């Protein structure tokens, strides 16, 4: 075998069962890749020693013939998940030295299923961004970059870059407005954001609590199904986690899609949509038609208000969630003798980066007396209409197909993108509605644009119907034959 780090998770599990290599060998191979790929800046913290200890236990379990579902699979964890005794920064100075005394539910589930943790992955500060450039630990470089260094997308940019460059077998991400799907698309990976309530948010550093969900980023659809199954499930420690059974997601992948109705929302084809993106979208619809699916146009009439609604509600919730970082209880504290008020101001001025401050200010503004009704309340009402659009659409179709992003990865420090924050926000046009409606959605690579960079397609499903999404995605994956790095 040539390079064992290029295998998918399901292939790796087969090889480990056949004892073709050990978990220790595998873990060392990934650690070597990480060492040699420092220029991607994908990891904030590498836990080599701990990973090798976990690998040893995994090898023993294989020897005893009692492997757990993900026994010995080396994963990277987005540095937004609290990991007991391992520094968890949210890519912010504010939590630069924060070592959580507890484990998030999602990472605990992965550990209980036998996963090995290689380390903590870079992201946009507090997951606020779409390019990984807001990280206090520096930007991540997209492994698809050629002459110029490109962004990996965000906020789970470290996760997608690490998966694409084989610096882990799979990774966790979180998605508040597209943070799993957009980086997956930019780096040629697959990623799924499950239904709100499917995965516990306990121990995930909060950005916008009514929108945040955890999910996997991996090399292919089957790996996403495997990881999602491990990460999912009701948790009494998260009051918004939903008490429903976790299906065997892999089983869905082999179902027929004959007669399945796929909707293509006409509002996702605005005038001026990148013709390459539009062409891939139509080609994907053709692939599904050829397999017997029925493709039809649907309407999501309030789509044009989704971005504005998201960029009122997400900052509003963020401003409230981030009020806890005051320099008193934990995290960064500004030095020098001063009064309490001054200490708060100094700590927050020094601890947060520019994008986080911008969101706190917008959020505080839209929640303030006098503006609450005009912005926050109005956005809440619009959120309901966007949700209802989807529910009506799902009376006519089983799954919705759209592009993931209107563009491919762009250069780090792109002037147009940085000139005005709104230019960056516009990239989220196809992803935010899904979070507002609480629905599951996945991105998978469909092919390369003329510039040689990956483009992603998005599938949106009914609540708790991740199975149908994964099934349709598996068919597209088979037909598209996308070649990974
Ligand atoms: N790009 C979006 C934002 O900046 C989404 C981020 C996310 O999903 N965490 O808010």
Q: Using CA atoms of 250, 47, 107, 74 in order, give the dihedral in degrees to the nearest 10.
A: 10
Cα dist from 374 to 113, 210, 247, 320, 456, whole Å: 48, 20, 42, 18, 36
Place of tokens 């391992």: 86
Q: Is residue 367 part of a domain?
A: no
Q: Is residue 27 part of a domain?
A: yes
Ligand 1 pocket test, candidate residues 314, 359, 424, most atoms within 8 A of CB: 314
Active-site residue, 78 included:
yes
Q: Is residue 222 part of a domain?
A: yes
Ligand 1 pocket test, candidate residues 155, 207, 406, most atoms within 8 A of CB: 155
pLDDT of the chain, 485 residues: tens digit per residue: 589 999 999 999 999 999 999 999 999 999 999 999 999 999 999 999 999 999 999 999 999 999 999 999 999 999 999 999 999 999 999 999 999 999 999 999 999 999 999 999 999 999 999 999 999 999 999 999 999 999 999 999 999 999 999 999 999 999 999 999 999 999 999 999 999 999 999 999 999 999 999 999 999 999 999 999 999 999 999 999 999 999 999 999 999 999 999 999 999 999 999 999 999 999 999 999 999 999 999 999 999 999 999 999 999 999 999 999 999 988 999 998 899 999 999 999 999 999 999 999 999 999 999 999 999 999 999 999 999 999 999 999 999 999 999 999 999 999 999 899 999 999 999 999 999 999 999 999 999 999 999 999 999 999 999 999 999 999 999 999 999 99
The C-alpha atoms of residue 178 and residue 163 are separated, in whole angstroms, by 17
Query: Ligand 1 pocket by C-beta < 6 Å: which residues?
Result: 127-130, 155, 175-179, 207, 314, 428
Q: Is residue 430 part of a domain?
A: no
Active-site residue, 156 included:
no
Which atom of ligand 1 is nearest the CA belonging to 359?
10
Where do runs of H (alpha helix) occur along 18-96? 23-36, 48-64
The C-alpha atoms of residue 220 and residue 483 are separated, in whole angstroms, by 11
Token pair in block for residue 204: 């995930």
Return the CATH number at 194.
3.90.1300.10
For residue 376, the surrounding DSSP H or E stretch is: none
Which atom of ligand 1 is nearest the CA belonging to 176?
8
Token pair in block for residue 276: 């390459």
Q: Give the model confidence (pLDDT) of 288-341 as tens digits.
A: 999 999 999 999 999 999 999 999 999 999 999 999 999 998 899 999 889 999
The residue contributing the CA closest to ligand 1 atom 4 is 129
Active-site residue, 145 included:
no
Whether 351 contacts 92, CB under 8 Å: yes
Q: Domain count of the chain?
A: 1
| 169-175-179 Cα angle (round to 5) | 75
For residue 376, report the distance from its CA to the centre of ligand 1, in Å.
Answer: 18
Q: Is residue 412 part of a domain?
A: no
* Ordered DSSP codes for 320-369: HHGGG-SSSSSS----SS--HHHHHHHHHHHHS-HHHHHHHHHHHHHHST
* Ordered DSSP codes for 246-304: PP-HHHHTT---TT-EEEEEGGGS-TT--HHHHHHHHHHHHHHHHTT-EEEEE--TTGG
Q: Is residue 274 part of a domain?
A: no
Q: Give the model confidence (pLDDT) of 350-369 as tens digits.
A: 999 999 999 999 999 999 99
Ligand 1 pocket test, candidate residues 154, 192, 205, 318, most atoms within 8 A of CB: 154
Q: Is residue 187 part of a domain?
A: yes
Structural domain boundaries enclosing 64: 4-256+464-480
Catalytic-role residue among 135, 155, 156, 159: 155
Which atom of ligand 1 is nearest the CA belonging to 130?
1
The residue contributing the CA closest to ligand 1 atom 1 is 130
pTM of the model: 0.98
Residue partners of 198: CB distance under 8 A and separation at least 6: 213, 228, 232, 242, 440, 464, 466
The C-alpha atoms of residue 153 and residue 369 are separated, in whole angstroms, by 36
Cα dist from 222 to 165, 256, 295, whole Å: 19, 16, 24
For residue 454, report the distance from its CA to the centre of ligand 1, in Å.
Answer: 20
Q: Is residue 261 part of a domain?
A: no
Query: Which DSSP state fits 171?
Result: E
Catalytic-role residue among 179, 232, 241, 443: 179
């Amino acid at each position: 075998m040539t390079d064992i780090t290029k295998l998918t998770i399901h292939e790796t599990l087969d090889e480990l069962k056949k004892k073709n290599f050990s978990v220790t060998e595998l873990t060392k191979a990934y650690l070597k890749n990480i060492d040699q790929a420092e220029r991607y800046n994908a990891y904030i913290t590498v836990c080599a020693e701990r990973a090798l200890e976990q690998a040893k236990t995994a090898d023993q379990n294989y020897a005893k013939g009692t492997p757990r579902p993900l026994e010995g699979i080396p994963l990277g964890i987005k540095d937004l998940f609290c990991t007991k005794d391992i520094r968890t920064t949210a890519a912010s100075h504010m939590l630069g030295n924060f070592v959580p005394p507890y484990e998030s539910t999602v990472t605990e589930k992965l550990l209980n299923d036998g996963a090995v943790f290689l380390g903590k992955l870079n992201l946009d500060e507090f997951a606020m961004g779409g390019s990984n450039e807001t990280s206090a630990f520096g930007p991540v470089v997209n492994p698809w970059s050629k002459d110029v260094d490109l962004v990996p997308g965000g906020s789970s940019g470290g996760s997608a870059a690490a998966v694409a460059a084989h610096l882990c077998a799979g990774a966790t991400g979180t998605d508040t407005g597209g943070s799993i799907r957009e980086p997956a698309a930019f780096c040629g990976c697959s990623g799924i954001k499950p239904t709100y309530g499917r995965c516990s948010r306990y121990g995930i550093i909060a950005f916008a609590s009514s929108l945040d969900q955890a999910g996997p980023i991996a090399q292919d659809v089957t790996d996403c199904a495997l990881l999602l199954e491990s990460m999912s499930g009701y948790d009494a420690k998260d009051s918004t986690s939903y008490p429903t059974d976790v299906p065997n997601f892999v089983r869905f992948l082999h179902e027929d899609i004959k007669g399945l109705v796929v909707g293509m929302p006409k509002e996702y084809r605005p005038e001026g949509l990148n013709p390459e993106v539009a062409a891939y979208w139509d080609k994907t619809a053709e692939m599904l038609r050829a397999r017997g699916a029925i493709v039809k146009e649907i309407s999501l009439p309030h789509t044009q208000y989704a971005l504005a609604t998201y960029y009122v509600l997400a900052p509003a919730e963020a401003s409230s969630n981030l009020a806890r970082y005051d320099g008193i209880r934990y995290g960064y504290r500004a030095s020098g003798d001063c009064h309490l008020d001054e200490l708060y101001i100094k700590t927050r001025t020094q601890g947060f980066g520019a994008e986080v401050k911008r969101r706190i200010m917008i959020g505080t503004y839209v929640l303030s007396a006098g503006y609450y009704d005009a912005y926050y309340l109005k956005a809440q009402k619009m959120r309901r209409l966007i949700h209802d659009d989807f529910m009506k659409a799902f009376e006519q179709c089983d799954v919705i197909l759209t592009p993931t992003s209107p563009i491919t990865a762009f250069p780090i420090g792109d002037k147009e993108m940085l000139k005005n924050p709104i230019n960056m926000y516009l990239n989220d046009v196809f992803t935010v509605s899904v979070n507002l409606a609480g629905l599951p959605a996945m991105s998978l690579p469909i092919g390369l644009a003329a510039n040689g960079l990956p483009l992603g397609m998005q599938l949106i499903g009914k609540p708790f119907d991740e199975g149908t999404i994964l099934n349709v995605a598996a068919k597209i994956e088979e037909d598209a034959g996308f070649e990974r790095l």
